[in-house]
Structure 1
Amino acid sequence: MLSWIIRKILGTKNEREVKRLKRFVEEITKKEKELDPLTNREIRQLAQDLYTKVLNDEELREDITRGKIREEVLLAFAIVREAGKRTLGLRFFDVQLLGGLVLHEGKIAEMKTGEGKTLVATSSAFVNALTDRGVHVVTVNDYLARRDAQWMGPIYKFLGLKVGVINSDYSSYLVEWVDEELAQRAIEENLRVWPAGYTEEVLPSHLASVEAKKAFFTKLVPTTRREAYEAHITYGTNNEFGFDYLRDNMAFSLEEIVQVKGHHYAIVDEVDSILIDEARTPLIISGPAEMDTEIYYTADRVVRKLVKDEDFTVDEKHRTVHLTESGIKKLEQLLGVENLYDIRHIDLLHAIHQAIRAHHLFKRDVHYIVRDNQVLIVDEFTGRVLPGRRWSDGLHQAIEVKEGVPIQQENQTLASITFQNYFRLYTKLAGMTGTAETEALEFKEIYGLDVVVVPTHRPMRRIDHPDLVFKTKKEKWKAVVDIIKQEHAKGRPILVGTISIEDSEHLSQLLQKEGIPHNVLNAKHHEKEAQIIAQAGRLGAVTISTNMAGRGTDILLGGNPEYLAREILIKRGKDPQEASQEEWKEALEEAYRITEEEKKKVVELGGLLVIGTERHESRRIDNQLRGRAGRQGDPGESRFVLSLEDDLMRIFGGDRVKKLMEVLKIPEGEPIESRMVTKAIENAQKRLEAQNFQIRKRLLEYDNVMNTQRMAVYAMRRDILEGKGLEEYLEEFVRDVLSERVKEFLQEDDPELWDTKSLEEYLRDLTGEEINLPTVRDREELVELVVKKVMETLSKKKEELGEELYQQVLKIVMLSTLDHLWREHLHILDRLREGIYLRGYAAKDPLVEYKKESFYLFEDMMRNFKERVLGDVLRLQVRSPEELEEEIQREEEEKEELLKKAVYLAPQEKADQKGPKRKTLKERLQSRRKKT
């Protein structure tokens, strides 16, 4: 009661935040009036002067990095608003500036769909680009990265900034003017896209000078990955930023490193999708591992003979499977083994578990699709295919066998990081999405990010109806088709959301039978995504879409005139890129006339109707679907049509609703429409969200253990790569290794019992020299003596090689050894994690045990690293190129002699002489080159 009274008097925390930021927006608007009379050239010069000022004022630079709002920041926002008007014909709404300030402060801006988040990001990106420390704008797919960079490119280019784009196929681009000469003339002659006397509304861009509009067209020009990162602002996907970080930490030269500016500021679009939904899957760079594919075929063959609930059980809620006693006996008979749980059969048992999961938990056209003889994962949150991504731990191979496609080689981890730990590398992190408030606690707890809900530009007019719940899926689909048929007859645009490809194609078939024209947008038909979504608001349009998260294109009532103008030009046989000013103007005017007429009719019909055919396990995905209707004050409606056979209803709480329907004797085809039922479904979603949060949190807790080790290894690796203190490292290795070895060989307290002979042998093996130890009774004194002798040997090696070559040798030996041991360490940690949960049966916390074990393993790895590096450097042989060529020639001649003799050997003698093949010096050199 008290908190309610305080909220009424003082307002909520969010209301107070918005009120505070609105004062800054008013200051920006005052500056806008001062900037409006200036020419394009003067605006550009003002931006350049501000850039120079920030670079020369370290305190200002740090304040911007920390997200402080100063006078210079407000001026920068006003400059971006002015640039937006002059190049794109888009004037920032006040709420868009407010959203930009939220991003600048390093928070999450929750802005409804259609509020122009793509434009919002430019203000904060520009301000932080002034520090020249690099800004990363993170999108959910390559298309959006390219589109947003090119679309917003004119603002940045106008203000003198460089913009880069990185894509998952390793292509990289810089944003450049389509016509450099025309762009410069537009700036010099003060051409504006925005006509004089603008109002607060965004004026139709076709009213502006077509010549000015063409002057500010941009294109993507191929460039190197490094140059794309050296730009002031870089657009790309979360996966690629993460993979480039891992690849940089596997580089063998500084020239290979691409993220040259580090990690200072990132703006994450669809922040909930990237930082929460995708956070359960770590980024992994892997290489081929040895494997026997036959084991997967054997597992698949026997699993097909097992009976569900008799031989094994499936827990859909936790996505796990368990063999029963009868199932174990049946498998032992089928496989002809005495004990399936014998250590010799552990790999086969694991493959059997994965085969059961593949058959009973992973469905085709829901979790994956089969295309071009490959199993491709479908992102459960966005409905998009994830090319190049594979399930780990043999699951992908099990699904490949199930679907009868060739098994691809299993991989071993070379480097990995979770999205949580990658994005926590950034000094300042910000995000924007239409739905973040439901996950505010997780954002705060994991990333330290506050969520600010930014008010809409116009009041929300969308009507959200209670859910309709039917007994069976058959009844549900009939009801969905009936609603579509009824509303389509009026000409109302309809967007139908499904949660799987299977459902979208099933509904498509039902609509085809009814003769209703429609578009399908899912992982199989995503090439024309932007076009389909852009025109989903046209009169009579019916669009079926699998998940709407991160589509990045607004649904405009009546259709998108820009896209329609392109279609008109194409129908007239014209290429939109090559069309003349007059042709463009004519096409745009016709497109605006058509869309304006259609918009009036669609508004009269109640706007866009959104139908959800199943509840997602996350309320945010449902809200994203709803958010497609009612953008910027448009009318609209949303309705979810469900059945008790839907996965969420079946697994969570569907029985209660079923009993209620039976008690009320609701006939077939009649739904329950009740706020109480909708509330029950939301509660089920909340429970599932909480469960998923715990999974993500647990994943992070385990990765944090590895992250500490990862950061230590990567820091040492960067020092080695940059050649920092290599000899100091080596001296430290000498002292650490020899101290341990002396203690190992001289364990006895009585010096008379010390095993100095074994220590001398070890030193001879290590250095390749005879080292006779004098009689010393103090262990520490002996350590100093041994260290001194080994350092003398290293000094000789340095003289022999010369300073430059010695440094190069140290670098190569250290890097190759560290990389090899780190890969092995990751593999061991993977295996440790698989079985660590069993410690729970001994009343021990698996996480605590994992921390202990991984610490010991890391210590062991570092011990091996130091000893191997030391041994390799000390035993290094120096040969001239001529000597190497002579030895290679000698080996080749010896090989030919052996081959001649082998011709006269009897078959039995030849068999007896078989043995492990020894690599020639030439092969060893080639192998070493490949490694380094």
Structure 2
Amino acid sequence: MVGWLIKKIIGTKNEREVKRLRRYVRQISEKEKELDSLTNREIIELSKELHLKVSTDEHLRERIINGEITDEVILGFALVREAGKRTIGLRFFDVQLIGGLVLHQGKIAEMKTGEGKTLVATSAVYINALTDKGVHVVTVNDYLARRDAQWMGPIYKFLGLDVGVINSDYSSYKVEWVSEELVQEAIEKDLRVWPKGYFEEVLPSELIDMTAKKAFLTKLEPCERREAYQAHATYGTNNEFGFDYLRDNMAISLDDIVQVKGHNFAIVDEVDSILIDEARTPLIISGPSQMDTSAYYRADQVVRKLKKDEDFIVDEKNRTVILTEQGIRKSEELLGVDNLYDVKNIDLLHALNQALRAHHLFKRDVHYIVRDGEVLIVDEFTGRVLPGRRWSDGLHQAIEVKEGVPIQQENQTLASITFQNYFKLYKKLSGMTGTAETEALEFKEIYGLDVVVIPTHKPVKRHDHPDMVYKTKKEKWQAVINYIKEEHQKGRPILVGTVSIEDSEHLSELLKKEGIPHNVLNAKHHEREAEIIAQAGRLNAVTISTNMAGRGTDILLGGNPEYLAKEILAKRGKTPETATQEEWKQALEEAYKITQEEKEKVLQLGGLLVIGTERHESRRIDNQLRGRAGRQGDPGETRFILSLEDDLMRIFGGDRVKKMMEFLKIPEGEPIESRMVTKAIENAQKRVEAQNFQIRKRLLEYDNVMNTQRLTVYSIRRDILEGKYLKEYVEEFIRDVLEEKVHQLLPEEEPELWETKPLEDYLKELTGRDIKLPPARDKEELIEKLTNTVKQIYAEKEETLGKELISEITRIVLLNNLDHLWREHLHVLDRLREGIYLRGYASRDPLIEYKKEAFYLFENMMFKFKESSISDLLKVEVKSQEELKQEVQREEEQAEKLLKQAVFSGVEGKADQKGPRRKTLKERLQSKRRR
């Protein structure tokens, strides 16, 4: 009661923050009045002056990077607002400026669907890009990266900033004006709103929506990836930014590094999807491993013969499958092994565990689809296919065997990072989404990000009905069909959300039987995504969608004129490209008239109706579905129709509701519809969210161990790549190696007790020279003398080969050794992680044990790196061209001799199974010649 009263008097923390930011919005509006009287040329010059001031004033630059709201920030926001009006015809609402200020401060802006987040980001991007440190705008897919950069491109270009785009197929672009000459003419003529009536020979009609206007003003020109990153602002997906970071840290030349500006400021669109939903899966760059894939086929045959609850137990809540004692014995019998847990059977046990998971936790058309003989992962949060992505650790191979498609080689980790640790690299991080408040605690705890809920521009008129809960799925689907039929007869547009492809296709079949025309949007039909969503608000439209997170296209009541115009042209056998300007203009006018008439009718029917057929594990995904109705002050309704057999209800919360239904004697076909039931379901979701949070937190805790090591290795690697401190590294390595070995091989403290031979043998192995131990009073003096001796050998090598050559050789040797050992280390850590949980049975914390083991392994790896690098450098020999030619000739003669012996002994015939031996040898020799 007291808390409620305090909030009523002084407002919530969120309300106070929004009120504070409104003061700055008023200042921006005052600046806008001043800018309105300036010419285009004066606006451009003012932006140049601001850019020069911010980029050269170190103190001001730091203040902007730290998110302070200075006079320069106020001016920058006013310039962006003015540029938006003049170039793309969009003026920031006050609430959009509040959103931009929240982003600039390094916080998360929660803005409802349709509130214009794409435009909001430009203000924060612009003012931070003036620092010349680079800004990354992170989107959920390539299409949105290209669309947003091109759509908002005119604002940046007008104010003098470059914009780059990176895509997952390794293509990259820069945003350029469609016509530089016409733009300059528009500037000189001082035209204030370019798309409205200017360049009539290019722009066919004023009815074209913003999607077409962006294409008219700017275009995407292919460029080098490095160039895209050198732009003031770079748009791309979370995966590509992360993968480019990993690739940069695998580069063998500075010229191959693309993220040249580092990690200054990132704005993450759909921040909840990227930083929370996808955070359970680390980014991994991998290469082929040596595991025998036949183990997966053997394991699959065994798993098909095992019985659930007798031979293994499935825990759906924790997504694990565990063999029982009976199952272990049965598996050993079927595999023909004495002890499944013997070290020699470790690969077979691993394959068996993955086969169990593949068969009993991963469902076709829910977690993956099979297309063209390939298993493709379906993103559980967006319903999209993830081409090129594979489950790691042999799971993908197990599913391939299960589905009878060609098995691909298992991969070994070469480099990896979690999204949590990647995005922590940025000095300032912010994000925007329609649903973040439910995860505010996780954002704060993991990323240090506060969430600010931005008010809507117009009041929300959407009505959210209580959930309807049925006993069985059959009753639920019948209720959904009846509800759709009833509303469809009125002509009302309906969007139906499902949680899996399986459900969407089942509902589609039911609607076909009822003769109700509809569109299906899921991983199997994602090519028509934008078109399906854009027209989901038309009269009589029924759209089934597998998840609506991050779709990036608004549902316009009455439909989208541009897409409808394309349909009109298609009926006439034309496309926008082949039609004349007059035909295109006529089609647009027809489409605009139709959509406006339909919009009026849809508004009278109550707007878009959203039906949810199952609750998702996360409340945010449900809220994203709801948010499709009632955008920008439009009316709308939402309702979830559920059953006690739905996965969420069955696993986490159905018993209580079931007992309630039995107690109340609810007859078949009748639902429970009450706020209490809705609350019970939300509580179940909260439990799942808490569990998933713990999973992500645990993943981060384990990755933090590797992250410390990763940052150390990548820091050393960058120094080596840049040729920094090479001699210092070598001298430091010499001392470290000798210090370690002196203490190891001379355990006694007294010099007269030292057994010198093991150390002298080691020195010969390390340097290739006979080195006698010099007299010394103690170990410290001995280490000092030996260090000087070995340094002298390196100095002689430097004198013989020359400083430039030895420097390049040192760089290559250090780089190769570090990369090789780091890859091996990652593989060892993967295997350590698999079995570390067993320490829990000995009452030890697996995480603490993992930290200890990982630290020891890393120390060991670093010693090997230092030792092998010193040994290679001290033994390296540079051969002349003539010496190399003679060596190749000797090898050729030896190879010919071996070939004759092989043919004579009959080995040649056996080699045909793997390809002719003669050809392989010749190829090897030719390869050596080329080197």
Q: Unaligned 5+ residue runs, structure 2?
A: 198-203, 912-916
Distance 1:871 1:571, change over 3 A: same
Deviation at 1:741, TM superposition (A): 1.5
Cα drift, residue 582 of structure 1: 5.0
The 1:773/1:413 distance shift into structure 2, 3 A limit, reads: same
Superposed CA deviations along residues 169-189 of structure 1, whole A, max 9, x for unmatched, are 111111112222222222222
Partner of 1:834: 834
Matched residue, 2:70: 70
Which residue pairs with 1:360 in the alignment? 360
1:160, CA displacement in angstroms?
A: 1.7
Answer yes or no: is the 8 Å Cα contact 2:895–2:921 preserved in 1.
no
Give the secondary-structure state (helix, strand or coil) at the position aligned to 1:654: helix
Give the SS at the match of 1:895.
helix
Counterpart in 2 of 1:871? 871
The correspondence of residues 575-590 of structure 1 with structure 2, limited to 5 A, is 575-576=575-576, 583-590=583-590
1:11 and 2:11 aligned: yes
> For 2:206, what is the secondary structure of its paired residue?
helix
Q: For residue 201 of structure 1, what is the aligned residue in structure 2?
A: none
- Pairwise mapping of residues 378-527 of structure 1 onto structure 2 (< 5 A)? 378-527=378-527
Residue 443 of structure 1 contacts residue 450 of structure 1 at CA under 8 Å; is this kept in 2? yes
Give the residue type in structure 2 aligned to 1:413: T
C-alpha distance after superposition, 1:177-206 (max 9, x if no partner): 222222222222223436999xxxxxx992
Aligned to 1:370: 370
Number of the residue aligned with 1:645: 645
Q: Matches of residues 679-690 of structure 1 in structure 2 within 5 Å?
A: 679-690=679-690
Give the equivalent residue in structure 2 for 1:288: 288
Amino acid aligned to 1:707: N
> Residues of 2 paired with 1:578 and 1:57: CA distance?
53
SS in 2 for 1:844: coil
Q: Post-superposition shift, 1:54?
A: 1.0
Paired position in structure 2 for 1:896: 896
- Deviation by residue 1:505-528 (Cα, 9 ceiling, x = unmatched): 111111111111111111111112
Cα deviation, 1:820-877, whole Å, max 9, x if unaligned, reads: 1111111111111111111111111111111111111111111110000000000101
Instruction: Quote the Cα distance in structure 2 between the aligned partners of 1:902 and 1:508.
Output: 66
Change (3 A) 1:325 1:766: closer
| Identity, % of aligned positions | 76
**Residue identity opposite 1:337 in structure 2:** V
CA distance in 2, matches of 1:481, 1:905: 77
What displacement does 1:796 show? Answer: 1.0
The equivalent residue for 1:318 is 318
The answer on 1:278 being equivalent to 2:278 is yes
Trace 1:226-375 onto structure 2 (pairs within 5 A): 226-375=226-375
Query: How far 1:922 moved relative to its partner?
Result: 9.9
Give the Cα–Cα distance (whole angstroms) in 2 for the partners of residues 423 and 924 of structure 1: 47
Q: How does 1:670-819 map to 2 (within 5 A)?
A: 670-819=670-819
Distance in structure 2 (CA, Å) of the matches to 1:38 and 1:539:
45
Letter in 1 for 2:461: R
Return the alpha-carbon distance in structure 2 between the equivalents of residues 287 and 764 of structure 1.
Answer: 36
Give 1:920 deviation, angstroms.
9.3
Larger mean Cα displacement after TM superposition, 318-327 or 116-125: 318-327
Q: Distance in 1 between matches of 2:497 and 2:753?
A: 80
List gaps (5 residues or longer) in structure 1. 198-203, 912-916
Contact 1:295 1:351 in 2 (8 A): yes
Moved more, 261-270 or 843-852: 843-852
Contact 1:270 1:550 in 2 (8 A): yes
Task: State the distance in 2 between where 1:740 and 1:345 align.
Answer: 36
In 1, the alpha carbon distance for the partners of 2:822 and 2:610 equals: 51
Q: Secondary structure at the match of 2:414?
A: strand
Contact 2:195 2:206 in 1 (8 A): no
Q: In the alignment, is the contact (CA less than 8 A) between 1:296 and 1:401 conserved in 2?
A: yes
CA contact (8 A) 1:286 1:414 kept: yes
Summarize deviations over 1:890-917 as a string: whole Å, max 9, x none.
Answer: 2212222333345445889x99xxxxx9
Contact 2:492 2:539 in 1 (8 A): yes
SS at match of 2:738: helix
Q: Is the 8 A contact 1:462 1:630 kept in 2?
A: yes
Q: TM-score, normalised by structure 2?
A: 0.95
Letter in 1 for 2:671: P
Q: For residues 657-711 of structure 1, what are the alpha-carbon distances to aligned partners after superposition, in whole Å with 9 as ceiling and x for unaligned?
A: 1222222222221111111111100000000000000011111111111111110
Offset at 1:255? 0.2
Alignment of 1:104-115 (within 5 A): 104-115=104-115
Aligned to 1:594: 594
Indicate conservation of the 8 Å contact 1:534/1:556, yes or no. yes
Aligned-partner SS, 2:526: coil
Alignment of 1:147-296 (within 5 A): 147-193=147-193, 206=206, 216-296=216-296
Task: Report what 2:857 is aligned to.
Answer: 857
Distance 1:293 1:684, change over 3 A: same
Shift of 1:339: 2.7
Change (3 A) 1:747 1:871: same
Query: How far apart, CA to CA, are the structure 2 residues paired with 1:37 and 1:208?
Result: 28
Q: Give 1:926 shift.
A: 5.7
Contact 2:496/2:610, CA 8 A, preserved across alignment: yes
Give the distance between the partners of 1:338 and 1:518, measured in 2 at CA.
58
Cα 1:215–1:289, aligned 2, differ >3 Å: closer, same or farther?
closer
Counterpart-to-counterpart distance in 1, 2:209 and 2:316: 59
**Shift in CA distance, 68/49, structure 1 to aligned 2, threshold 3 Å:** same
CA contact (8 A) 1:192 1:209 kept: no
CA contact (8 A) 2:111 2:433 kept: yes
> What amino acid sits opposite 2:121 in the alignment?
A
Contact 2:888/2:929 (<8 A) preserved = no
Give the direction of change, closer, same or farther, for the CA distance of 1:207–1:644 in structure 2 (3 Å limit).
closer
| 8 A contact 1:888–1:922 mirrored in 2 | no
Deviates more, 1:754-763 or 1:401-410: 754-763
1:718: Cα distance to partner?
0.4
Residue by residue, what CA displacement relative to the aligned partner does 1:222-273 show, whole Å, maximum 9, x if unpaired? Answer: 1111011011111100000000000000000100000000000000000000
Query: How much does 1:57 deviate?
Result: 1.5
The residue aligned with 2:622 is 622
The answer on whether the counterparts of 2:164 and 2:172 sit within 8 Å (CA) in structure 1 is yes
Shift of the 906–415 alpha-carbon distance from structure 1 to 2, 3 Å rule, reads closer
Post-superposition shift, 1:762?
A: 1.8
Asked if the contact 1:734–1:870 (Cα under 8 Å) also holds between the matched residues in 2, the reply is yes
Deviation at 1:749, TM superposition (A): 2.7
Match of 2:416, SS state, is strand
Code of the residue aligned with 2:639 in structure 1: it is R
**Cα displacement (A) at 1:569:** 4.4
1:821–1:861 CA contact under 8 A, matched in 2 = yes
Question: Are the aligned partners of 1:87 and 1:216 in contact in 2 as well (CA < 8 Å)?
Answer: no
Q: Is the 2:205–2:585 contact (alpha carbons within 8 Å) kept by the matching residues of 1?
A: no
Distance 2:923 2:512 in 1: 66
The answer to whether the 8 Å contact 2:196/2:206 transfers is no
Distance 1:766 1:346 in 2: 35
TM-score normalised to structure 1 length? 0.95
Give the whole-Å Cα distance in 2 for the aligned partners of 1:307 and 1:747: 58
Tell me if structure 1 keeps the 8 A contact 2:607–2:629.
Answer: yes
Report the RMSD for the aligned CA atoms in angstroms.
Answer: 2.4
Report SS of the residue matched to 2:486.
helix
CA shift for structure 1 position 493: 0.4
Question: One-letter code of the match for 2:565?
Answer: A
The question of whether the paired residues in 1 share the 8 Å contact of 2:749 and 2:779 is answered with no
2:200 paired residue number: none
Between the aligned partners of 2:569 and 2:90, the Cα distance in structure 1 is 24
CA pair 775-55 structure 1, distance change in 2 beyond 3 A:
closer
Looking at structure 2, the residues matched to 412 and 493 of structure 1 have their Cα atoms a distance apart, in angstroms, of: 49
**Residues 1:21 and 2:26 aligned together:** no
**In structure 1, what is the Cα distance between the partners aligned to 2:214 and 2:419?**
40
Structure 2 vs 1, CA of residues 214 and 443 (structure 1 numbering), >3 Å: closer, same or farther? closer
